[in-house]
Amino acid sequence: MWYCSSRCLTFVATLLTCVNACLHTRFARQAEVQKRDTPLSPLTPEENTLVKAISNTTISEWSYYYTHGAHLAGQNLTMAEWTADRWRENGWNSSIVSYDVFLKNPISKSLSLTYSNGSIYQPFLAEAVLEQDDTTGYPNRIPTFHGYSASGSADAEFVYIGRGQQSDFARLIELGVPLEGRIALSKYGGPFRGLKVKNAQENGMIGVILFTDTSDDGDITEANGYAAYPDGPARNPSAVQRGSVQFLSIFPGDPTTPGYPSKEDSPRADPSPVLPRIPSVPISYADAIPILAALDGHGTTGAEVNRSGWVGALNVSYSTGPSPGTTVSMTNLMEEKFTPIWNSIGIINGTIADESIVIGNHRDAWIIGGAADPNSGTAIIVELAKAYGSLLSQGWRPKRNIVLASWDGEEPGLLGSTEWVEEYIPWLTDTAVSYLNIDIGASGPWPYIEASPELHTIATDVMRKVSWMDTGRNMYDIWLEYTGGSIGVLGSGSDYTAFLHRGIGSIDMGASGGAADPIYHYHSNFDSYHWMSTFGDPDFLAHKSMAQYLSLLANSLAGQDGIQFDLPNYARQLDAYYEDLLSIIESTSQTLDTSLLRSAIDEFSIGATEVQALQEQAVAADDPELLTLVNHKYRDFQRGFVSQGGLPNREFYRHLIFAPGIDTGYAATTYPGITEALEAGNSSLAAEFVQKTADAILVAASIIKT
């Protein structure tokens, strides 16, 4: 999900190119950034109460609760009720909001490799049960599978397709590799897993096998002498990444209710436009090695394919294949059903009824554990609710409404949050100021944020108030050291998506492992309380610091007279995205007149400067009516960016400044309507979206006009 404009790339040393949902890229520490040790910014009495109320001990207790019971989407009502009860105990008005959604869960699967000589290799297809890690051996542990995968069987020769991007398929076609009627073998990384399946399906392939490669792990591998989990920090060879294969870049949410909430009596649409028709299964790298090795000497070697991300770190050639007479047989059987999911919702009413902050984390997990994804974030928001309870007990009340959400069904396709937004969009349009998302709150010691530009300044200012773990340094200095000061652009892959594409500015946050930290087992049974308490965040100090950060950020947005937005920064980011667009145009053979877009950005920039001055005037004059006027402009301006309808063939995505890429699913594309039209060679569509994007920016500019 990480994005930088071209001007900041020199600051970021990306070790991995994977962009899994909820999973943040691992960065090397930034040698270019001098280590800083700046003092903490002072806290107000309210902020001090919040900070002191947060305990790593109770966060660990919340984590233990969530990670010791199965909580697939639609199978966690007791956890939803327990969450709402904890909030209610701390003074929040709490309830459960349910939706009836379409889900597919596993019944059985099989996979075998038959060599040309008739011998057979049978992959294990399950993760190891570890004596040291109790939840890996629970009788009701959840098998490895792909959410929303198709039931079916396939028996054919197979082809390695790299990371399964459209450009990977273009290279295979260029090389003359036969695809139709074959089974695809792909490594994770690059595009969202569902798009790997979609691309294979569109190229006539009949099944997909996905595996995790140790190239994702940098130096922390068994091959480099590190012991594997549970004995050390390297990846356990049997680890498997589960996950959804919904075609996320078309639309998220219940695939049978596009654009409207899923209630028991809701009309149902055909889900096939966003769900695969061919079966897929995930496997471990240990299971993948013999299958990859069967292609050695057949087709084109990985080195000759010469594609970024094609060759991994396993001891194979990553050849394309196929290997004549060597076949894979696979079956996948899924149960389809409509079932309730449950969002826990907590509310503190503010003194300003028409301004609201929403804070959210999803609760469902693919596994019994989920200590990092998502329940590090869940433990953090339960602790946040407790901290705000300390303020409420003193008679405190925020200026803006604070809504706290524990979403169900995020993992299959952002279901709980999308359905809730679709139900409450009139109220959200009238009142929502910002959405604050925390998914993987902590899987390591290095903080990161991704945010819409109006939140950049307040988000980094608040970091200066947080003492980071036990380092004796503030969060801002640690963040700067890790990221080089880069703030990601929001694409998709977590629950901010529906908010952002209805014009509600958002931030996503967390703490992840760096290049030298233990490997996080994403969507695996080994994302467990034992892993977290042994390797990920042993004393839950990253959890504690992230809880303090989120609590203080929410208070800054909900508790001050003026909304703390930086619109001139939004204008600067529009400029940076524009420069990137010009570079893209230059890299193609197309010509495109972008003068309308340039003019619209300039007009927005003028308005941003003027409305900031108007806010300063209102504060200086102690003029509440003028400040309310400015606050409402700040609340509403981003609705302009979603005012022109959606992107071509994926109307859900309405934000014309940034959206998930059509062939990434997660990673952001800026000025997506224009950029993707150019990449498709459609200059007339690009010109149409220059006009639409300029119009969207002008609507935003008209909202902030003074």
For the four alpha carbons of 405, 406, 410 and 415, in that order, the dihedral sign comes to: negative
Q: What share of the chain is helix, strand, coil (3-state, %, to 5)?
A: 40, 20, 45
Residue by residue, DSSP assigns 345-360 as EEEE--SEEEEEEEEE
Identify the three-state secondary structure at position 397. coil
Of these residues, 119, 589, 595, 684, which one is catalytic? 595
Question: What is the 3 state secondary structure string of 41-74?
Answer: CCCCHHHHHHHHHCCHHHHHHHHHHHCCCCCCCC
Of these residues, 238, 406, 655, 676, which one is catalytic? 655
Residue 247: C-alpha distances to residues 69, 162, 195, 416, 523 (Å): 29, 19, 6, 17, 18
For the record, the structure tokens of 139 come out as 């009788």
Report yes or no: 125 and 283 within 8 Å, Cβ to Cβ.
Answer: yes
Residue 551: C-alpha distances to residues 346, 458, 614 (Å): 15, 13, 28
- Tell me how far apart the alpha carbons of residues 327 and 127 are, in angstroms, rounded to a whole number: 24
Residue 12: C-alpha distances to residues 31, 33, 309, 618 (Å): 10, 10, 18, 40
For the record, the structure tokens of 394 come out as 């003193």
- Tell me how far apart the alpha carbons of residues 462 and 40 are, in angstroms, rounded to a whole number: 10
383 is catalytic: no
Of these residues, 47, 410, 450, 603, which one is catalytic? 410
Residue 651: C-alpha distances to residues 258, 265, 647 (Å): 10, 24, 5
- Tell me how far apart the alpha carbons of residues 555 and 180 are, in angstroms, rounded to a whole number: 56
For the record, the structure tokens of 83 come out as 């969450």
Phi/psi region, residue 152 (left: phi>0; alpha: psi -120 to 50; beta: rest), is left
Extended beta strands in 223-277, E state: 243-244
Stated as kind and residue range, the H or E segment containing 377 is helix 375-392
**Strand pairing class (327-348; 658-660):** unpaired
- Tell me how far apart the alpha carbons of residues 675 and 586 are, in angstroms, rounded to a whole number: 12
- Tell me how far apart the alpha carbons of residues 461 and 49 are, in angstroms, rounded to a whole number: 19
215 is catalytic: no
Specify the DSSP class assigned to residue 467. Answer: E
- Tell me how far apart the alpha carbons of residues 581 and 572 are, in angstroms, rounded to a whole number: 14
The total number of residues shown for the chain amounts to 706
- Tell me how far apart the alpha carbons of residues 94 and 91 are, in angstroms, rounded to a whole number: 9
Q: Rg of the chain's alpha carbons, rounded to an integer?
A: 25
197 closest CA partner among 290, 278, 130: 278
Contacts of 636 (CB under 8 A, 6+ apart): 703
- Tell me how far apart the alpha carbons of residues 246 and 249 are, in angstroms, rounded to a whole number: 9
Neighbours of 91 (CB within 10 A): 18
419 is catalytic: no
Neighbours of 99 (CB within 10 A): 27
Stated as kind and residue range, the H or E segment containing 282 is strand 280-283
Q: How crowded is the C-beta side of 54, counted as CA atoms within 13 Å?
A: 29
For the record, the structure tokens of 151 come out as 């039931």
358 closest CA partner among 367, 366, 347: 347
- Tell me how far apart the alpha carbons of residues 428 and 219 are, in angstroms, rounded to a whole number: 45
Q: What residues act catalytically? A: 410, 595, 655
